[in-house]
Copies of this chain bind each other. A is one copy, B any other.
Amino acid sequence: MQQEPKWRRRAEDRPDEVLDAALRLFASKGFAATKVEDIAQEAGLSKGAIYRYFSSKDEVFESLVRRAVAPIAEKASMIAQTSKEDPRIVLKTLLTIAIVKLSDPEILAVPRLVLQEAGRFPELAETYRREVLDRGVAAIEKIVQRGIDEGIFRPVNARLAVRNVIGPLVAHLLLSQIFKFDAERIDSPQDFLESHFDLLINGLTPHTMGEG
């Protein structure tokens, strides 16, 4: 009569499971308010076992962020040398992908946490800036610049225009996610995207003398 063991040795899967659990909890309660025991419970593990895989609570957080950063950094670099398509299309595609991804609270949580804890983890924040922000900003700048060179956009300062591309997105996420605007008042991501893109492109377009 073989009993089910009380627990199993699954050293392969544990680290990722711990990080998943930690992400969920950090996302909803923040780093400081999340106990190591909470993480253990959420991951279906005892507190002590966490320390077999991570040397401290801080390291859990850092690993978490680094795990999330890797694939993003890779993608951002690829975007830079995207197709020679109409830069307007490229921008819209990018914004669409971004808003879809970031509408998932689990994904938005990482940059949010990095921001929140930047003071306590300056190196981590620096890494995130270098690997994600810098590359993302550079990619968008490049697209805008190409639009200018091809005469599709007005000759604006591309570096500064990046803020006009990503800013409304950031504002939208901030307003809808963090301050939890009443559900009824939340405009759908699609509506927001249309509006933003319309205003953005109209703002970037030369309009030398009606061409529409």
The chain A residues found within 8 Å of chain B, CB to CB, are 28-30, 32-33, 115-120, 125, 128-129, 133, 137, 154, 156-157, 159-161, 163-164, 166-172, 174-175, 178-179, 181, 187, 191-192, 195-196, 198-205, 207-210
Contacts and interface: CB of A to CB of B under 8 A. Distances in A.
A160 B116 CA distance: 27
Q: How many copies does the complex hold?
A: 2
Given A164-B164, A200-B203, 10 more contacts: A32-B32, A33-B119, A118-B179, A129-B179, A133-B179, A156-B199, A160-B191, A163-B168, A167-B170, A199-B203
A157 B195 contact: yes
The 10 closest A-B pairs by CB, nearest first: A203-B203, A167-B167, A167-B168, A167-B171, A160-B195, A32-B32, A207-B207, A209-B210, A199-B203, A163-B168
Contacts of A28: 119
A29 B161 CA distance: 32
